[in-house]
Amino acid sequence: MKDRSGKSVMDRRGFLGASLAGSLLGFPLKKLGKAPALVRRRPPVVAVSSRNGLKAVERAYEAMTQGKRPVDAAVHGVAVVEADPRDMSVGYGGLPNADGVVELDSCVMDGPTQLAGAVGALRGIMHPAQVALKVMRRTDHVLLVGEGALRFARMHGFKEENLLTERARKRWLRWREGLSRRDDWVEPGENDLGAPGDPETGKKGKEEVEPRPTGTIHLSALDAKGRLGACTTTSGLAFKIPGRVGDSPLIGCGLYVDNDIGSAGSTGRGEAVILSNGSSSVVEQMRQGKSPTDACLEVLKRIAHFTRIPRLLDAKGRPNFQVNFYAVNKKGEFGAAAFYPAKYAVCTEEGARILDQASLYKRR
Ligand code: GLY
């Protein structure tokens, strides 16, 4: 390794590796006549992801072992979820905005070049992560949104298609009909005499509307050359105001990579992650020496501290929403944490598996 002036230097890892090799062999280094060959342990290959990414981490891991760069491997991995109509939080089949239109957000970041690309509120393109990758590689920009992002995708040959599945349309319609008792939308049966909400009967009307998931997939990856890369892709908050973008296309929020330190990403309530600059905060915690899991927990504590508006708090004063962080450091240590118990996916040489995340609170 060379320093900036071109002189050969031994990096810290090399030095530690050499010291370790020496002491493992039982020889204090200074007593050896000849410097031992450097024992440089390659970092393990790791792909870590949200719970919905079991298949994705497997694909990303495999791609990295075949030499793909981690950022490309991450995009390759998440493509399987973007194309899966059963996952209603990402890509094709994702839940639409308030107008019933699917709008997708995504970003990618490449550790070695420290470059990133992102798209926000992109309509009609199944693989926004691939468009984000093009933004990174084929423009001098980081983030394209809306119509501009769509035109850019068309220019690069991405196919436009209807991403709204029948299942997602029906969920959207149920949400729309249950939105408010004061609007013009009426749920089946609500116009009947004696239906809940009828002042004549005194029965209480429905308070809860259709649940509004904030799914998403994040994938952070480390290869055997110590390169880091990451990708986050989502259809965002279900039934959002058209044009709303969450944390997922924002560098530092939905993900952040520092090739000297580690990579982190998030899923869950994007507004909370934006307000805490979540993923870059996780990387900063790792820079200060925290393990990936502890780094995630530290940022969750900060978000809990910042959450003060009563409508966002439960009866115990805790956030009434979920946020998850996932992280891997340069050494290949990985972890994840959330406010409330949840699971995440990882793939290492031991294979792909689902693990429990650490959580700030034991139960909801
Ligand atoms: N974390 C996904 C979103 O809030 O859009």
pLDDT tens for 75-120 read 999 999 999 999 999 999 999 999 999 999 999 999 999 999 999 9
- Percentage of the chain beyond pLDDT 70 is 80
Amino acid (1-letter code) at residue 206: K
**Using 50, 70 and 90 to split pLDDT, how confident is the model at 184?**
low
pLDDT tens for 24-38 read 333 333 344 455 556
Closest CA to 226 of 313, 331, 83: 331
- Cβ of 324 closer than 6 Å to ligand 1, yes or no, is no
**Interhelix angle for 146-155 vs 128-138, to 10°?**
80
Torsion sign (Cα): 135, 271, 239, 55:
positive
From 165, 214, 216, 234, active-site residue? 216
**Using 50, 70 and 90 to split pLDDT, how confident is the model at 195?**
low
- Cβ of 348 closer than 6 Å to ligand 1, yes or no, is no
In the structure encoding, which two tokens stand for residue 194, read together? Answer: 């004696």
Fold of 46-164+213-359: Glutamine Phosphoribosylpyrophosphate, subunit 1, domain 1 (3.60.20)
Distance, in Å, from the CA atom of 76 to the CA atom of 183, rounded to the nearest integer, reads 43
Please tell me the distance between residue 23's alpha carbon and the centre of ligand 1 in angstroms.
48
- Cβ of 278 closer than 6 Å to ligand 1, yes or no, is no
Of the chain, the end-to-end C-alpha distance in Å amounts to 50
- Cβ of 335 closer than 6 Å to ligand 1, yes or no, is no
Q: What DSSP string describes 281-322?
A: HHHHHHHTT--HHHHHHHHHHHHHHH---GGGB-TTSSBSS-
- Encode burial over 71-91: b for 16+ CB neighbours within 10 A, e otherwise: bbbbbbbbbbbbebeebbbbb
Q: Could you tell me how many residues make up the chain?
A: 364
Nearest CA to ligand 1 atom 5: 236
pLDDT at res. 205: 42
- Cα–Cα distance list, 173 to 92, 98, 156 (Å): 18, 10, 34
Is the pLDDT at 199 greater than 70? The verdict is no
Please tell me the distance between residue 225's alpha carbon and the centre of ligand 1 in angstroms.
31
Residue whose token pair is 């450091």? 329
pLDDT tens for 295-315 read 999 999 999 999 988 888 999
Please tell me the distance between residue 143's alpha carbon and the centre of ligand 1 in angstroms.
16
Residues 6+ apart with CB under 8 A from 58: 47, 77, 347, 351, 352
Cβ distance 83 to 127 under 8 Å? yes
pLDDT at res. 68: 98
Backbone φ and ψ of 350, nearest 5°: -85, 0
Q: Which atom of ligand 1 is nearest to the CA of 89?
A: 2
pLDDT at res. 180: 66
**Using 50, 70 and 90 to split pLDDT, how confident is the model at 294?**
very high
All structural domains of the chain with their residue ranges = 46-164+213-359
Q: Is 214 a catalytic residue?
A: no
Distance, in Å, from the CA atom of 118 to the CA atom of 141, rounded to the nearest integer, reads 9
Is the pLDDT at 130 greater than 60? The verdict is yes
Please tell me the distance between residue 124's alpha carbon and the centre of ligand 1 in angstroms.
18
pLDDT at res. 200: 45
Q: Between 130 and 211, where is the model more confident?
A: 130
Q: What DSSP string describes 19-58?
A: HHHHHHTT--GGG-SSPPPP--PPPPPEEEEEGGGHHHHH
- Cβ of 52 closer than 6 Å to ligand 1, yes or no, is no
Q: Which atom of ligand 1 is nearest to the CA of 268?
A: 1
Q: Which atom of ligand 1 is nearest to the CA of 273?
A: 1
- pTM: predicted TM-score of the whole model, two decimal places: 0.83
Is the pLDDT at 188 greater than 70? The verdict is yes
Nearest CA to ligand 1 atom 4: 270
- Cβ of 236 closer than 6 Å to ligand 1, yes or no, is yes
Is the pLDDT at 21 greater than 50? The verdict is no
Is the pLDDT at 9 greater than 90? The verdict is no
pLDDT at res. 363: 84
Residue 208, Cβ density class (10 Å: 0-12 exposed, 13-18 middle, ≥19 buried): exposed
**Using 50, 70 and 90 to split pLDDT, how confident is the model at 177?**
confident
Please tell me the distance between residue 1's alpha carbon and the centre of ligand 1 in angstroms.
41
Which of 86-90, 195-199, 238-242, 304-308 has the weakest average pLDDT?
Answer: 195-199
